[in-house]
Structure formats: structure tokens, C-alpha cells
Amino acid sequence: MNNLKVKDLTLRVGSKVILKSISLEFEPSRWVSVIGPNGAGKTSLVEAISGVGMAPKETVFIGERDLTTFSERERATLVSFVPQNPVIPRGLSVFDYLCLGRTAYQGAWRSAGPEDKRITEDVAGRLGVSSLFERELASLSGGERQRVVLGRSLVQQCPILVLDEPTAALDIRHQLETLRLLRQEVDQQGICVVSTLHDLTLAGQFADRLVVLDDGQVAIDGPAHEVIRNPKLSSIYGLRLEVVTVDGSEIVVPAPR
């Protein structure tokens, strides 16, 4: 019903074609990860579907409605977005930062009400950041910070959550922790997650479906465990990839020559 649809999306910057006639559909309770080499257009794609990029009219739809026809406020109740490098304002407490996620539900003037606070506390509980409420955002560690940024996007209560490289700045433990939290949101809250991910192993383990972009086009699109075994993947990355199984988990590794 509120499915996110991309129809024949072509994006040019100057004379350079960034995305070429991309058509995709995203469903609730599913996690789709966009993968591909650097410069394949991953970020442009997620920015376009989150509404912050410059998608042309009639290319991205929520339900049957063109995304460009929504007001900022309407859109912010349907799609939330976590950029690769979120701005971390100084002098702001974690709680106040989380409450920014309620902006679309508040008047221009009113500050957070009891309902906003309840939702914020609820999300913070799920992400385990309640104990950080009084801390200054800028003083948090990278892992804590990423959970709080994720929290702000969940406080928006959108059926669709778009993330650009949510684990880029994290060590391996915090990568796993962040991805587990996201998986939990997909399974328990039924949201639709669209993310870009660099790590093919993690993409294969956590996402339901992988969309592989190559040079602005969809090269492979399918269930995660199938896509990581697709021989085309090796040629896209320009090196031989193999899947090995360790204790039942599938690991994607570049094969030695």
C-alpha cells in the first residue's frame, strides 16, 4: 500500500549519467541493501528515494503518489533518512537531538509534548540509549553516536527508513550491533529498510534482498544469499569472490589469485 517504487529513474549531473533507467519496488518488513563498487551510484539512488536528492518528477512513488508532490513535512512522516556523515551539532543533549525526529509532527512553535516524549523514550529503550539522554551528543563515542542517529530516524516513525552506509565509521563490533538493531526494527516494527552497505558479508547476512548497482544500472537484483553467490558479482568488482561458510554463516571473501 505504502510501497516505495522507483520507475524508470534516470539521473544526470551535468552531462554525466549517474543513474540509468532504474526501476525497483520496496516492500514493508523487508531490508533491501544496495551494493556495488565505488561510483556505481549507490548514494545517488538512496538520496533520490529519500527525497533529499534531485529525483525528476514521476520517478519515485510512495503508493501511487509522486514523491516530489509531498510537502517536506508529509514526506518526513513517510521516509526517514540517515546520511553517511550526519551533522553532529554541538551543545545539544541526546534527548533533544532524538526529539528533532518529531519535528514533522509538531507545530512551528510548540516543543515536544508528552506523546513525542513517550515515542522518544520508547525508541531509546529499544536501542539501549536511554541512559545517554543527558549526555552531550558530540561527546558520545562513534558507536553510541550511530545508535542515537539511528534513534532520531526511528523517532520519525516512518514506514520507510533509508540509510547511506550506516556502518561506515564503526568498528566491527559496533557494525554488527547497529545492523542487529536495524534487523530487529525490520522484523518487529515491520518497517521497510533500504540501505547501502560496503561489506558484502554483512550485506548478505543482514539484508533480505540485494540490489547490485554497476555504472548506474541495476546489474543483479535478488535474495541476498543468492546474489552473493552470483558469478556476475565477481566481474562487477573486478576480482574473484568466493563464499565460504563458517559455523553456518556465509562469508564473502576475495579469492587468492
Partner 1 sequence: MSTFADRKGVRRFLVGAVFTLLIAIALGLLVGPTGISPMAIIRNIAIHLGLQKGRIDPLENTILWQIRAPRLVLGVLVGSMLSVAGATYQGIFRNPLADPYVLGAASGAGLGATVALLGLGGVVGANVNLISPFAFVGALVAVFATWFVGGRGSRSNGATLILSGVSVATLLTSAQTLLQQHASATSLAHVYIWLLGSLASASWSTVEGLTTYVLVSVAICMLVARQLDVMSVGEVEARTLGLNVRRLRIISLGAASLGTAAVVSAVGLIGFVGLVVPHIVRMAVGTSYRRILPLSALVGASFLVFADTLARTVLAPSELPIGVITALVGAPIFVVVLRNREVWL
Q: Minimum distance between the CB of residue 13 and partner 1, rounded to whole angstroms?
A: 11
Task: Tell me whether residue 111 or residue 188 sits nearer to partner 1 (CB atom).
Answer: 111
Q: Minimum distance between the CB of residue 223 and partner 1, rounded to whole angstroms?
A: 29
Q: Give CA angle at 211 (206, 214), nearest 5°.
A: 130
Q: Minimum distance between the CB of residue 157 and partner 1, rounded to whole angstroms?
A: 12
3-state DSSP assignment of residue 13: strand
Which residue type does 231 have?
P
Task: Tell me whether residue 84 or residue 235 sits nearer to partner 1 (CB atom).
Answer: 84
> Which strands form 31-35's sheet, in the order they lie side by side?
79-82, 160-163, 192-196, 31-35, 209-214, 217-223
CA atoms of 18 and 40, how far apart (whole Å): 8
Task: Tell me whether residue 1 or residue 109 sits nearer to partner 1 (CB atom).
Answer: 109
CA atoms of 62 and 89, how far apart (whole Å): 31
Q: Minimum distance between the CB of residue 136 and partner 1, rounded to whole angstroms?
A: 5
Task: Tell me whether residue 114 or residue 238 sits nearer to partner 1 (CB atom).
Answer: 114
Kindly report the three-state secondary structure assignment for every residue of 121-155.
HHHHHHHCCHHHCCCEHHHCCHHHHHHHHHHHHHH
Q: Minimum distance between the CB of residue 104 and partner 1, rounded to whole angstroms?
A: 3
Q: Residue 64: count other Cβ atoms within 10 Å of its Cβ.
A: 8
Task: Tell me whether residue 98 or residue 233 sits nearer to partner 1 (CB atom).
Answer: 98
Provide the greatest CA pair distance for the chain. Answer: 62
Q: Which residues bind partner 1 (CB under 8 A)?
A: 50-52, 54, 71-73, 75-77, 79-81, 83, 86-87, 89-93, 96, 100-101, 103-104, 106, 108-111, 136, 139, 156
